[in-house]
Chain A
Amino acid sequence: MRNILHWLTLLFVLGSLTASLAWAHKVNLFAYVEGGTVYTESYFPDGKKVEGGTIEVLDAGGKKILEGKTDAQGAFNFPLPKKEDLTILLDATMGHKNSFILKKSEM
């Protein structure tokens, strides 16, 4: 019984360590428009993709117009909703957030 507890504790500690290493970095967001679709990429500085991050899109007035989650490639794509400056927000949990202003001139 004690052995199992020790193993479980070790696994838990190792699991926590691995998780915190990934979040030791800032998180980044990059977006561009191509063929009427907005492509967003969410990543850590070392290139690892942000999976399951929350993306919120605000219009030029600051109103939220859509929301989604990044996939296994760190991507969340959507049809261009409005041709105006859009603010795209990323929340990768653990306080890691970033934003990207997609300018009307790039659409």
Chain B
Amino acid sequence: MHRTPCLAATACLTVFLGFAAPAFAHFGTVVPSDDIVSQQDPKKIQVALKFLHPMEGHYMDLAKPKQFGVLHEGNKTDLLPTAVETSGKGGDQKKGFTAWKVEYTIKRPGDYIFYMEPEPYWEPAEDSFIVHYTKVCVNALGKEEGWDVPVGLETEIIPKTRPYGLWTGNVFTGQVLVKGKPAADVDVEIEYLNESKGNPKIVQPPSDPFVTQVVKTDANGMFTYAMPRAGWWGFAALSTADWTIKKDGADKGVEIGAVYWVRTTDMK
């Protein structure tokens, strides 16, 4: 940032204050109807794209993504042409917010990484844009290969725990990359998706810190978190982009998030 030291300090303070408030735990969300497709399962799955506060359930409009595709056996397929606009709301919201859904047919064995790059979202409370590069993995037909391959996004989480077949109580370990390189000391926000299919009761956090957990990445960009409930968990590793976006003639900062979703199941 090429600003005077005073402006830089003010900008840093604004950004810091913005991040310190747990209410701004926006999560880019990509969740499939089935994350482990076995031989006897339907091969057609639905993938939902949303932008919301996973624990509180509040949706925000997700404009048609800039990029939405799937990586399988080294090949990327653009799924944006088949994305259908839908709507979602949660908590005490009265009106619906824009969301998207895609139908995808699994044909071959292996891991399918669905990835989304949204259009930058303007957040006035943080005076910056937000771009959450979001990924989720679907395993098909018993071949567990491909889940740890990078997609090649501006920032992304590389799972170090195989991201499916996880029990409630298992840990999820991931590595945060920014421009392909491990990112140290990055805040990773973690939230449970209260609307997870099968969640028997909406979780009511006893106080603010319970809405979003935070862990920091180590010198190698690694983080670990134990998941205490069955359902979907979102991990959002937040960094500041080294580029800006112009809004009303001014350069605005961009919060880039590497987001990863995994599902846990109770061991019965």
Task: Report the separation of the CA atoms of residues A43 and B142 in the bound assembly, to the nearest whole angstrom.
Answer: 9
Q: Given A43-B109, A100-B39, do A28 and B145 touch, yes or no (CB 8 Å)?
A: no
Chain B residue contacts of A43, Cβ below 8 A: 109, 142-143
The reply on B144 being an interface residue by CB < 8 A is yes
Chain B residue contacts of A30, Cβ below 8 A: 108-109, 141, 143
A85 to chain B, nearest CB (A): 14
Contact flags (1/0) for B119-153 with A, using CB distance below 8 Å?
00000000000000000000001111100000000
Please pick, from A32, A45, A100, the residue contacting B143 in the complex, using a CB distance under 8 A.
Answer: A45
Residues 86-107 (chain A) with a chain B CB within 8 angstroms = 100
A37 to chain B, nearest CB (A): 16
Contact call B145/A46, Cβ cutoff below 8 A: yes
Task: Report the separation of the CA atoms of residues A33 and B106 in the bound assembly, to the nearest whole angstrom.
Answer: 15
Contact flags (1/0) for B165-204 with A, using CB distance below 8 Å?
0000000000000000000000000000000000000000
Contact call A47/B145, Cβ cutoff below 8 A: yes
Minimal Cβ-Cβ distance residue in B for A41: B109
Contact call A47/B39, Cβ cutoff below 8 A: no
Chain A residue contacts of B110, Cβ below 8 A: 47
Contact flags (1/0) for A22-35 with B, using CB distance below 8 Å?
00001010101000
Residues 57-84 (chain B) with a chain A CB within 8 angstroms = none
Interface of A is mostly: strand
Chain B residue contacts of A45, Cβ below 8 A: 142-144
Interface of B is mostly: loop
Chain A residue contacts of B143, Cβ below 8 A: 28, 30, 43, 45, 47
Minimal Cβ-Cβ distance residue in A for B111: A47
Task: Report the separation of the CA atoms of residues A45 and B109 in the bound assembly, to the nearest whole angstrom.
Answer: 10
Chain A residue contacts of B109, Cβ below 8 A: 28, 30, 41, 43
Residues 95-123 (chain B) with a chain A CB within 8 angstroms = 107-110
Task: Report the separation of the CA atoms of residues A56 and B204 in the bound assembly, to the nearest whole angstrom.
Answer: 55
Chain A residue contacts of B108, Cβ below 8 A: 30
Task: Report the separation of the CA atoms of residues A45 and B146 in the bound assembly, to the nearest whole angstrom.
Answer: 11
Chain A residue contacts of B39, Cβ below 8 A: 100
Minimal Cβ-Cβ distance residue in B for A30: B109
Task: Report the separation of the CA atoms of residues A26 and B139 in the bound assembly, to the nearest whole angstrom.
Answer: 15
Task: Report the separation of the CA atoms of residues A28 and B144 in the bound assembly, to the nearest whole angstrom.
Answer: 11
Minimal Cβ-Cβ distance residue in A for B145: A47
A35 to chain B, nearest CB (A): 16
Contact call B142/A47, Cβ cutoff below 8 A: no
Residues 1-58 (chain A) with a chain B CB within 8 angstroms = 26, 28, 30, 32, 41, 43, 45-47
Chain B residues within 8 Å of A, Cβ to Cβ: 39, 107-110, 141-145
List 6 A-B pairs, minimum CB-CB distance, nearest first: A28-B142, A47-B145, A45-B144, A30-B109, A30-B141, A45-B142
Given contacts A30-B108, A45-B142, 16 further A-B contacts (CB under 8 A): A26-B142, A28-B141, A28-B142, A28-B143, A30-B109, A30-B141, A30-B143, A32-B107, A43-B109, A43-B142, A45-B144, A46-B145, A47-B143, A47-B144, A47-B145, A100-B39
Write 12 A-B pairs (CB below 8 A) sorted by A numbering: A26-B142, A28-B109, A28-B141, A30-B108, A32-B107, A45-B144, A46-B144, A46-B145, A47-B110, A47-B143, A47-B145, A100-B39
